């Protein structure tokens, strides 16, 4: 047997793993989500009609999501959703969680550049170590006046759950502006750095400042 056979075997195993792992993880996440919705709504419907129908919770969830989207597409729906957003942002503890999740979902689904303006690199948690962060705004308030510096607000998400993280106010001169898109930056965070942009030199869709 050739000496290269162990290396070939290892290569084929890794290749097979790379093929199956995304499939398995995707199926698992979807299965968990469907199971959760089926359990929550399914149990409620079961108590109401007095019998268990497998999959009724999933079907009900899909119908609910569809009609929510249909309702949100008209004028009255948009006004009510805007009212709900305003209400959620007025609750101190809920506000931070709600806005962060909303920003991340919006960035993933719509490629929005409103919430997360650009991917940046900041030295965190100590000099010499760099973390991926997202610029959220140019600071023109009391923080800018007190520090007497050109400050920007950046959000440093945690991995693999980007719905939590840290808000830092950093001098603009200490920040490196990346060329990758916000979506690519989020993919890197969620994957723990496994997924990287295909074209490292591609200009950021948001302008790519340096």
Q: Answer whether residue 100 is part of any domain.
A: no
| Residue range(s) defining the domain that contains residue 25 | 5-63
**pLDDT greater than 90 at residue 38:** no
Average pLDDT over residues 14-42: 72
Distance in angstroms between the alpha carbons of the first and the last residue of the chain: 55
Average pLDDT over residues 80-101: 77
Contacts 24+ apart (CB under 8 A), 128-136: 130/176, 131/156, 132/156, 132/157, 132/178, 132/185, 132/188, 132/189, 133/157, 133/168, 134/182, 134/185, 135/175, 135/177, 136/167
Question: How many CA within 13 A on the CB side of residue 79?
Answer: 3
Q: Answer whether residue 68 is part of any domain.
A: no
Q: Answer whether residue 83 is part of any domain.
A: no
Do 121 and 58 fall into the same domain?
no
Q: Answer whether residue 176 is part of any domain.
A: yes
CATH assignment at residue 182: 2.30.30
CB 152, CB 137: distance < 8 Å = yes
Q: Answer whether residue 16 is part of any domain.
A: yes
Indicate the number of domains in the chain: 2
Q: Answer whether residue 82 is part of any domain.
A: no
Local structure of 98: helix, strand or coil = helix
Q: Answer whether residue 92 is part of any domain.
A: no
With cut-offs at 50, 70 and 90, classify the pLDDT of residue 208.
very low
Do 54 and 123 fall into the same domain?
no
With cut-offs at 50, 70 and 90, classify the pLDDT of residue 76.
confident
Do 52 and 117 fall into the same domain?
no
Local structure of 169: helix, strand or coil = strand
pTM: 0.49
């Amino acid at each position: 047997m050739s000496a290269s056979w162990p290396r070939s075997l290892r290569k084929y195993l890794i290749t097979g793993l790379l093929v199956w792992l995304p499939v398995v993880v995707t199926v698992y996440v979807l299965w968990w989500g469907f199971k959760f919705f089926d359990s929550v709504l399914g149990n409620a419907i079961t108590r109401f009609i007095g019998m268990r129908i497998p999959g009724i919770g999933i079907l009900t969830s899909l119908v609910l999501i569809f009609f929510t989207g249909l309702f949100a597409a008209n004028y009255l729906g948009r006004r009510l959703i805007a009212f709900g957003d305003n209400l959620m942002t007025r609750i101190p503890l809920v506000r931070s969680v709600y806005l962060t999740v909303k920003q991340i979902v919006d960035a993933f689904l719509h490629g929005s550049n409103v919430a997360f303006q650009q991917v940046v690199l900041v030295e965190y948690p100590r000099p010499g170590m760099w973390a991926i962060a997202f610029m959220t705004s140019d600071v023109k308030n009391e923080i800018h006046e007190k520090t007497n510096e050109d400050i920007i607000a950046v959000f440093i998400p945690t991995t693999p759950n980007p719905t939590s993280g840290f808000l830092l106010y950093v001098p603009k001169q200490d920040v490196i502006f990346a060329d990758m898109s916000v979506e690519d930056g989020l993919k890197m965070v969620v994957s723990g750095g496994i997924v990287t942009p295909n074209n490292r030199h591609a200009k950021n869709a948001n302008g790519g400042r340096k």
